[in-house]
């Protein structure tokens, strides 16, 4: 029975999936972090949030000679990435929609690893012209393949209704705008985070051979 493992806070990695300069994902991730900081589980020290920005990881295109399922990593950047993901119990993936799917950088980051994703819990926070819903659908299938459990509640942010472009040049496609989440968005994200904490706590307790305890 590993009481040390179950006593530490549930670590949730907030993965920023776009590396594009001027991306709106940074604003979405900051909002998610703010909402998470108000969660009862985070305030009580039961859970904690760690931002994992792919733009800061500088992962190359997958360059490991051995498939990830064997866990034999030869490159320092892969070993660093492995340690970062392995340290998390759960994830919130912040992803835009690129051509009906997720960014190549996010798919590449997932493909680098295998066991580090297994048995972890994930929530999907997408954004885009159509709320990024199609990217979230693809991401759900990808995460199922690496045996991550995706919680039911999903949050979609619309570029049209959840961003304010007042004062921006209407002809400038790089205008970032200001994130102003619409009605019900924060409530949905709070629900998703609560599901993540509950599921992650239950899975960790099960692995340690303990009866799951209620979490805030």
Domain of 196, CATH number, reads 3.40.50.360
Rg (CA), the chain: 17
- Report CA 36 to chain centroid distance, whole Å: 12
Residue 133: inside a domain: yes
Distance of CA 195 to the CA centre of its chain: 14
Is 147 domain-assigned? yes
- The predicted pLDDT at position 3 comes to 45
Q: Which domain holds residue 10?
A: 3-207
Alpha carbon distance 189, 195 (integer Å): 10
List residues bridging with 46 in a β-sheet. Answer: none
Structure tokens at 103: 């960014």
Q: Has residue 120 got a pLDDT over 80?
A: yes
Instruction: Identify whether 89 is part of a domain.
Output: yes
Query: Is 202 inside a domain boundary?
Result: yes
Using an 8 Å Cβ cutoff, are 15 and 54 in contact? yes
Sheet with 90-96, side-by-side order of all strands: 47-53, 10-16, 90-96, 121-128, 149-158
> How would residue 210 be classed by pLDDT, with cut points 50, 70 and 90?
low
Q: What is the pLDDT of residues 3-34, one digit of tens each?
A: 445 579 999 999 999 999 989 999 999 999 99
Q: For residue 2, what pLDDT is reported?
A: 45
pLDDT: which is higher, 176 or 44: 44
**42 within some domain:** yes
- How far from the centroid of its chain's Cα atoms is residue 176's Cα? 21
Q: Is residue 86 part of a domain?
A: yes
Q: In this structure, is residue 213 part of a structural domain?
A: no
Instruction: Summarize the confidence of residues 81-90 as an average pLDDT.
Output: 98
Region 127-154: what's the mean pLDDT?
Answer: 97
C-alpha closest to that of 203 among 120, 85, 116: 120
The predicted structure's pLDDT at residue 215 = 54
Positive or negative, the Cα torsion across 101, 162, 179, 51?
A: negative
Is residue 216 included in any domain, yes or no?
Answer: no
For residue 185, pLDDT beyond 50: yes
Q: Average pLDDT in the 95-114 region?
A: 98
The rounded percent of the chain whose pLDDT value lies above 70 is 93
Query: Cα(178)–Cα(31) distance, rounded to whole angstroms?
Result: 11
Dump pLDDT digits (tens) for 28-65. Answer: 999 999 999 999 999 999 999 999 999 999 999 999 99
Over residues 146-151, the mean pLDDT reads 98
Burial of 36 (0-12, 13-18, 19+ CB in 10 A): buried
The average confidence (pLDDT) of the chain is 93
Work out how many domains the chain is built from and give that number.
Answer: 1
How far is it, in rounded angstroms, from Cα 190 to Cα 151? Answer: 12
């Amino acid at each position: 029975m590993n009481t040390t493992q179950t006593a530490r806070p549930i670590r949730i990695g907030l993965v920023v999936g776009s590396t594009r300069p001027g991306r709106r994902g940074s604003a979405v991730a900051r909002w998610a972090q703010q909402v998470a900081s108000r969660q009862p589980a985070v305030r009580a020290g039961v859970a904690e949030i760690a931002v994992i920005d792919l733009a800061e990881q500088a992962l190359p295109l997958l360059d490991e000679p051995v498939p990830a399922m064997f866990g034999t990593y030869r490159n320092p950047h892969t070993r660093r990435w492995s340690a970062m993901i392995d340290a998390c119990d759960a994830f919130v993936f912040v992803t835009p929609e690129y051509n009906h799917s997720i960014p190549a950088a996010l798919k590449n980051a997932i493909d680098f690893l295998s066991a580090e994703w297994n048995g972890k819990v994930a929530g999907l926070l997408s954004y885009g012209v159509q709320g990024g819903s199609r990217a979230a659908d693809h991401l759900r299938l990808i995460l199922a393949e690496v045996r991550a459990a995706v919680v039911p509640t999903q949050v979609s942010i619309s570029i049209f209704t959840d961003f304010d472009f007042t004062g921006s040049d209407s002809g400038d496609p790089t205008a970032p705008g200001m994130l102003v989440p619409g009605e019900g968005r924060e409530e949905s994200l709070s629900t998703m985070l609560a599901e993540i904490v509950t599921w992650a706590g239950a899975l960790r307790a099960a692995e340690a051979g303990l009866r799951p305890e209620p979490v805030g």
